[in-house]
Amino acid sequence: AQAMVAESDPQASALGYKAEASTVDKAKFAKYADGQNCSSCALYASKSAEAGACGIFAGKMVAAKGWCNAYAKKG
Ligand code: SF4
């Protein structure tokens, strides 16, 4: 299985990625709105109930309940 993106990964950190969307720093990432998470993001490709691939983080998995500043609501 592919590794999960670490919140401390430089790219993840720059985008404010959190594996648990409710812990996003809302002061720094004002774009975040309650209820948003990777599973409803257009860049997310689900691989299991918990995790999936993300177009931003090649070769790693993000949490279904995660979030980052590149969030784009699935159309
Ligand atoms: Fe999650 Fe979307 Fe950010 Fe990828 S781009 S980490 S799927 S919110």
Tokens of 64: 């279904």
What pLDDT shows up at residue 8? 97
| Cα 53 to averaged position of ligand 1 atoms, centre (Å) | 9
Radius of gyration of the chain (CA): 11
75 residues of the chain, pLDDT tens digit each:
789 999 999 999 999 999 999 999 999 999 999 999 999 999 999 999 999 999 999 999 999 999 999 999 998
- pLDDT at residue 43, rounded to an integer: 98
Question: What is the edge-to-edge ordering of all strands in the sheet holding 61-63?
Answer: 44-46, 51-54, 61-63
Please tell me whether residue 25 adopts helix, strand or coil conformation: coil
Q: Tokens in use for 30? A: 């004002």
Q: Are 68 and 17 in contact (CB under 8 A)?
A: yes
In a domain, residue 16? The reply is: yes
Check residue 44 and give its pLDDT.
Answer: 98
Q: How many domains does the chain have?
A: 1
The reply to whether 17 falls in a domain is yes
pLDDT at 2: 87
Angstrom distances, CA of residue 56 to CA of 5, 27, 39, 44, 60: 11, 23, 14, 9, 9
Q: Would the CB of 32 count as within 6 Å of ligand 1?
A: no
Choosing from 54, 61, 74 the residue with most ligand 1 atoms within 8 A of its CB, the one to mutate for a pocket test is 54
Does residue 36 form part of some domain?
yes
- What is the domain extent for residue 36? 10-63
